[in-house]
Structure 1
C-alpha cells in the first residue's frame, strides 16, 4: 500500500509537488495490436486532417465560457509554461483536440500531467514521445512514418486523443479500462487512478454558481468516469 501511494504521489505532479521539478515520463508503453482495415483507415483519416485548432462557438456565452476556462487553466499552468503565448496555444490545442475526439478536456490535461508533466520533448524509457507519450509505432500504423512529428504539439495531441478515443471505443466506453490500455497496463488500477486524481487539478466550473460534477476517488479503483465531452 505504501509503495502504491508513493507511485501515485510521484505520478500526479499535483499542486503540492509541482515545485519539486519535473518527474520522468511515465508511459508504460501502448501495445501494438493488429487493426482491421476499416479501423486503420478511420484512424489514419482522423490524424491526417490538418484543420487548425481554432475553437468555434455557437454563441457569445459559449465563447465567454471558453475564455474563462482559458484564463483559469493558464494560471494553473504558469509554473510549467511561463510564456503566455505558449500556454495559450497549448491550452487552445488541448481544448480543440479533446473535443474533436469526444473526450473530456479535464481528463486529457490530467493524462498529460501524469504522462509527461507538460514537457513537449519528454521521452520515456520505452520510447514514447511528447506531451501524451505516443509510442513511435503509431506513426507507422496510422501516420506517415515520421516519428519526429510526435514532438510537434498539435500532432502529438491529435495522435494521443485519437488513440485514447480508439481505446475507449474498444472498451465500450469504459474509461478505466481504456486508460489502462493507453498505458499498457490494462486492468491495473495505478495508472487510471493517477490520471483521475491528476484531472482534479484541472476542474473548471463552466457556469458560475454551478458545482462541478465530482471527480472519481483515486482510492477506489472500481469508480469510473464516462468518456463523453466535457471539460
Structure 2
C-alpha cells in the first residue's frame, strides 16, 4: 500500500504546529499541591486575603514616596513591551508593590515569579488549571477564600492570593526560599523552577 503524501504532510504540519506552540510558551508554571491545613493556619491565611481595600500607600515621608516613584518609573519602562497601555501598567505595578510589601516579600521576587509563571498574562491558565498572573490553583479559593475560583482572574485578588501563599510557603520552609519556591510550583526539591525565578528576579531589581 502506498502512503498518502498529503496525509503525511497534514500530520507533519500538526506536529510542527504543536512543537512551535510548546516552544513559544514562555511560562513554566506548575501547581501548588493541596495540603491539609491546621485550623489556625487556615484562619490566618483567610484573614490575610480577606481585606480587598485598594492598594493605596501611606508613605512615612517624602523620601519614601520618591523611592516608590523611582521604582515605578523604572519598572514601567521595563514592562512596556508586555503591557503597552500606561494606566494598565501603572495599576499592575502599584498592586504588585502593595501586595508584595503587605506579605513581606521583595517586589523583584514577585515580578520574577510572575514572569516565570504567566509571563504577565492576566488570564493565563496552566494545563492543571492554575490561574492568572501568579498561577494560583483553584483549590485555594475553597480553602481560604469564598470558593469562587473565577475571582482568581481579578488582578488584585490573584496577586494577593499568590503573595500570601508564597509567604506561607516561606514560613513553613523556615525562610528557605529555594524550597519555598519549589513548593509554590509543586516541584519541591527540584532545581529548575527556583533557578528560573531567581534568575528572572535579577531583571526586576531596582537600586533605590
Per the normalisation by structure 1, the TM-score is 0.79
Matched, 1:156 2:161: no
Residue correspondence of structure 1 range 209-228 to structure 2 within 5 A: none
Shift of 1:163: 0.2
Shift of 1:137: 0.3
Q: Judging changes above 3 Å, is the alpha-carbon distance between structure 1 residues 153 and 65 closer, same or farther for their aligned structure 2 residues?
A: same
Q: Which residue number in structure 2 is paired with residue 98 of structure 1?
A: 100
Aligned mate of 2:51, from 42, 49, 52: 49
> Higher Cα Rg: structure 1 or 2?
2
- Alpha-carbon distance between aligned partners in 2 of 1:173 and 1:159, rounded to the nearest angstrom: 19
Aligned mate of 2:142, from 140, 143, 151: 140
1:92 is paired with a residue of what secondary structure? helix
- Whether the 8 Å CA contact 1:55–1:92 is kept in 2: the answer is no
RMSD: 1.1
Q: Which residue number in structure 2 is paired with residue 107 of structure 1?
A: 109
5+ residue gaps in structure 1?
1-20, 207-231
Aligned mate of 2:130, from 128, 131, 140: 128
- Alpha-carbon distance between aligned partners in 1 of 2:26 and 2:137, rounded to the nearest angstrom: 16
5+ residue gaps in structure 2?
1-22
- Alpha-carbon distance between aligned partners in 1 of 2:58 and 2:135, rounded to the nearest angstrom: 28
Q: Judging changes above 3 Å, is the alpha-carbon distance between structure 1 residues 22 and 103 closer, same or farther for their aligned structure 2 residues?
A: farther
Q: Which residue number in structure 1 is paired with residue 36 of structure 2?
A: 34
- Alpha-carbon distance between aligned partners in 1 of 2:207 and 2:73, rounded to the nearest angstrom: 12
- Alpha-carbon distance between aligned partners in 1 of 2:191 and 2:26, rounded to the nearest angstrom: 20
Per the normalisation by structure 2, the TM-score is 0.87
Matched, 1:59 2:61: yes
- Whether the 8 Å CA contact 1:116–1:131 is kept in 2: the answer is yes
Query: After the TM superposition, which segments of 4 or more aligned residues of structure 1 sit over 2 Å from their partners?
Result: 21-26
- Whether the 8 Å CA contact 2:27–2:115 is kept in 1: the answer is no
